[in-house]
């Protein structure tokens, strides 16, 4: 009799402990104002982008992983979406730096978690990056900026004091 009682007790405990894993409980979320179109910004400017995410399911939402489509997007430490209780909302905060593109750019942030019928959700937005004064720098200007910062010109051309001379005939050819 005691053997059956202990066996039943162990069985009940293992079932209850297994059901405690929140990640196995599926839920749904709503991304408020997804697929946004931001007004243009100047190249090099920074922008904080905030998405409100509601837990519309019957279980807590647990974020497993997050991927961004560009290294110019960084997850802010102020984000509150690692776990969202039932009926509550969290905020996905991204720090965006408009340095890598010029013109129209569309970005995706993929969220992985304990979703009900899908394995991921995407947050989408686009923005136009405008060069400063509507002027696109050519290769030489970009090279000069980079070389001034990293001494690249000196490593290619040599130090100014060590440079050789050139002749007019070198230019004419």
Note the pLDDT tens digit of each residue in 142-157: 667 766 766 655 665 6
- Which DSSP category does 99 fall into? T
- Tell me phi and psi for residue 97, to 5 degrees: -120, 120
Q: Which tokens go with 85?
A: 């209780």
Asked if residue 124 lies in contact with residue 34, where contact means CB atoms within 8 angstroms, the answer is yes
What's residue 66's pLDDT?
A: 92
Q: How is the chain split among helix, strand and coil, in percent rounded to 5?
A: 30, 35, 35
For residue range 86-110, what is the model confidence (pLDDT) as tens digits?
999 999 999 998 887 888 999 999 9
| Domains of the chain, start order | 22-134 (2.60.40.10)
| Angle CA 91–93–95, to nearest 5 | 175
* Residue pair 49/96 in contact by the 8 Å Cβ criterion: yes
pLDDT at residue 130 in the model: 87
17-60 pLDDT per residue, tens: 555 555 578 899 999 888 889 888 888 888 899 999 999 999 99
Q: How far apart are CA 115 and CA 23, in angstroms?
A: 9
**Both tokens assigned to 159:** 């130090």
Q: Which of 113-117, 133-137, 163-167 has the highest mean pLDDT?
A: 113-117
Q: How many CB atoms lie within 10 A of CB 80?
A: 14
Sign, CA dihedral 131-135-139-144, equals negative
Q: Average of pLDDT values for 125-132?
A: 87
């Amino acid at each position: 009799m005691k053997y059956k009682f202990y066996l039943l007790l162990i069985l009940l405990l293992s079932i209850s402990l297994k059901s405690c894993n929140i990640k196995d409980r599926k839920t749904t979320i709503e991304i408020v104002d997804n697929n946004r179109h931001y007004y243009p910004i100047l190249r090099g400017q920074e922008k904080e982008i905030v998405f409100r995410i509601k837990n519309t399911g019957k279980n807590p939402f647990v974020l497993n992983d997050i991927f961004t489509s560009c290294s110019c997007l960084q997850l802010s430490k102020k984000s509150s979406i690692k776990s969202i209780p039932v009926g509550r909302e969290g905020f996905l905060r991204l720090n965006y730096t408009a340095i890598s593109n010029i013109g129209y750019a569309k970005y995706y942030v993929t969220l992985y978690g304990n979703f009900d019928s899908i394995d991921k959700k995407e947050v989408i937005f686009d923005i136009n990056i405008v060069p400063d004064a509507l002027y696109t720098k050519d290769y030489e200007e970009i090279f000069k900026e980079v070389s001034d910062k990293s001494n690249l010109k000196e490593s290619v051309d040599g130090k100014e004091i060590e440079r050789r001379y050139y002749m007019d005939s070198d230019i004419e050819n």
